[in-house]
Amino acid sequence: MNRAPDARSYDLDALREQMLPHRGGAVTESIPQLAEADPGLCGVALVTLDGDLRSSAQSDVVFSIQSAVKPFVFALALHDTNRAALERVGIEPTGEAFDAIKLESGTGRPPNPMVNAGALLTSSIVDGDDAAARAERIAAGLSAFAGRSLRVDEEIAEAEQRLGDRNLALAHLMRSEGTLRVEADDAITVYARACATLVDAEALAVMGATLAAGGVNPCTGERVISREVARDVISVMATCGVYDGSGRWMREVGVPAKSSVSGAIVLSAPGALGAAVFSPPLDEQGTSVRGHLASARLSDDLRLHAFDVSP
């Protein structure tokens, strides 16, 4: 992986200004709170592995993390099960939508932890004797990744539960296969609260940097997960993090990432930096249009592409 020697002086406000004229995509209408998002919002932040945080205008706008939570829930499940979670969920890309009603043939496992079925499963196996305890474990773990206390938006969590019919179908399907070993409603509750966690681009960039630093939060110095767990998570982000657009993403951007229907993208360039972009309008794969463009420009400017052989 090429390093990013110019990250400290990189002008994120200039990058943001270059993205603003792009008007493609549409804000999701999956829940009312997301449908109300301002399509003009755009914020960018990055964190180097010595803890230097850089950010643009609107990087402090608060939003729900949604699917960008999946790598971190996967990390907590791996940590809490001593990586035995790898036996409970697959790691292969699907070429399917994130909420496809589909499990691995012959095993009944979710295909990977970056789709909804996988996240329902991983959020059910973190430490905790009941749904409330597991939700609290995830809240504490996400806060450790971010280096600050994060809170859940209760209205968004309620909407996620009430309108999550496909997630409920996936939970019942995994229950019928014997893969999910908690009640379907409990699994939905824990996952909905994880998705409703409030962050901004700065917090999400720190979370990405914690993975990129091998599990140590570069801003607090706290070891959140092991180096092995961080490697597992980043590997799956590279192959599955942008769903059926993951191949195009890795060709164009070349940095492991996770997209989100709230318009957030979190990036982890191992040994280099973490970054986050937030802009609500999405493409057909559910990835932020401006976020994709900004990530590609950032990767090119800082020579972050994993497969680029620079002279």
pLDDT of 2 over the 60 cut: no
CATH 3.40.50.300 given to domain 7-65+199-302: no
Beta carbons within 10 angstroms of residue 6's beta carbon: 10
176 labelled as ligand-binding?
no
At the second CATH level, the architecture of 67-195 is 3-Layer(aba) Sandwich (3.40)
Considering the entire predicted model, what is its pTM? 0.96
Burial label for 254, CB within 10 Å (0-12, 13-18, 19+), is buried
10 labelled as ligand-binding?
no
167 labelled as ligand-binding?
yes
**What would the two tokens of residue 182 be?**
């908690």
Of 189, 196, 169, 173, which Cα lies nearest the Cα of 262? 196
Q: What residues are paired with 63 via a beta bridge?
A: 199
89 labelled as ligand-binding?
no
Q: What residues are paired with 45 via a beta bridge?
A: 55, 276
pLDDT score, position 97: 81
Every domain of the chain and the residues it spans: 7-65+199-302, 67-195
Residue 6: band (very low, low, confident or very high) from pLDDT cuts 50, 70, 90 = confident
160 labelled as ligand-binding?
yes
Sign of the CA dihedral with 107 first, then 110, 226, and 149 last: negative
Q: Do domains 7-65+199-302 and 67-195 have the same CATH topology?
A: yes
Residue 114: helix, strand or coil by DSSP? coil
pLDDT score, position 134: 98
